Every structure is written in structure tokens, then in C-alpha cells.
Amino acid sequence: MKQFTDISKIIHREGYIFIVIFAATTFLLASFSSTLGWIGFIATAWCAYFFRNPDRYTPTDENLVVSPGDGVVTSIMEASPPAELALGDEEMLRISVFLNVFDVHVNRIPVGGKVTALHYHPGKFFNASLDKASIHNERQSVLIETKEGIKVICVQIAGLIARRIVCDLEEGEEVKTGQRYGIIRFGSRMDVYLPRKTVPLVCVGQRAIGGETIFANFKSSKVAAPKFEMR
């Protein structure tokens, strides 16, 4: 029997309705003008491209922290964790990744463990590349505790034109490094908070690939030939 590819592995389900709307609008525009039809076709193609959901090769070492999303590392600094998680004011190492409208927006778990807290915080929609976005913008915070008891925070942050954050996780859920867990529409930022003394393995300005680019190694500041698994 012929096997068919699951469309959700190509396009994230959040994109279905938008692609249909863009396509229907394109047909309508084409009935008035071929030029408008071509513009609509390009817009529809971009919409499908935006919601793409590619597989990734994720390192299997449980001590490695990977990027939760595609984009550019815009900041590496010490900062207090999101106040809504009630973890106190002790600063952690925060790595921020800015996702533009051409990046993959499917978000991935940075490190395996157990989801111990989830918190949605309504807020504003400043440009996600600005530092104040971590504090003032709408966001979804996820607290993960590894098997070794290390606390890692992953935050989905809405951007200037983003108006929906999707998080498919549940409190108490066991998660794996690189696992898909949500998406942000359209243009956004991901923050990862790690223990303060963690040595970052990326630098500001570097492009990161969600589920693949290694942010840190809890056992060593050097990464030695990690093994990978498609996710």
C-alpha cells in the first residue's frame, strides 16, 4: 500500500486556515487582474513557507541544551527569570533568539526533563528584538527540570506583529530535547534561561537552528562529537 506523508510534518496545523484564506483571496484577486493574482500567489506561497514544520537532527546527549527556535542570537546576558514563575530575583544566564518572518516558527524543547510549571503572561507587542520585550511583551513561560534537578526556562515571546502564542505542553509532562511543542505567529523571540555559571557555546550575531544548534553543555564547556536523532 502506498504511504502518504502526514501533512502536519510539512506544514504546522496552525497554518492551515491562513493558507486557505490566502489561496481563496488569490483566486478572487486573479478574477480582477492577473497582476493581483500573481501578488496573491506569492503571498500564499510565503504563508505556506512561514508555517513549514521541518524535521531536525537533535543531539541525544541529555547534558546538551539546544536552541528552541530558528533565528539570530541577539543577546547573551544575566537576567532575573520571569517574575510569574516565582523563582526569585537571582539572575540566570539568558540567551535570546530573534525569529523574523522568514524563519521557521515551530518551537522546540531546549533540554529534556519534566515540565514543572507553565505560565501565560498577557502583555504588549513591542519589537521582539528589543531587550524590553522579555519583560513587557505577551509571553508563555515553561519551566523544565532535568533528571539532575537543573532548572531551565524557555519563554515564547510575541513580537510586533505576532498575535498568537501556541504551547501544547501540560504541567507534569515529560519532554525530550528537540521535541516540537508550539509556534508563534508572526515574527517573535525565544528566551532560554540557564543556571548563571553555564558556559554559552554560541555568540551574539550567530544564526541558530531550532533543535540542532547547541547552546550549552551542563557537563563541560566543550562538546565532543554528540550523537544525533531526527525529530
Please tell me whether the peptide bond between 126 and the residue prior to it is cis, using omega within 30 degrees of 0: no
Region at 228 (left for phi over 0; alpha for psi -120 to 50; beta for the rest)? beta
Q: What is the 3-state secondary structure (H, E, C) of 116-183?
A: EEEEEECCECCCCCCCCHHHHECEEEEEEECCCCCEEEEEEEECCCCCEEEECCCCCCEECCCCEEEE
Active site residue 8: no
Q: Active-site residue among 96, 129, 141, 188?
A: 188
| Residue 24 CB coordination number (10 Å) | 12
Angle at which helices 34-50 and 16-30 pack, to 10 degrees?
Answer: 170
Measured distance CA(224)–CA(181) in Å, rounded: 27
Contact, 155 vs 144, CB < 8 A? no
Count of C-beta atoms within a 10 Å radius of residue 188 = 31
Write out the catalytic residue numbers.
188
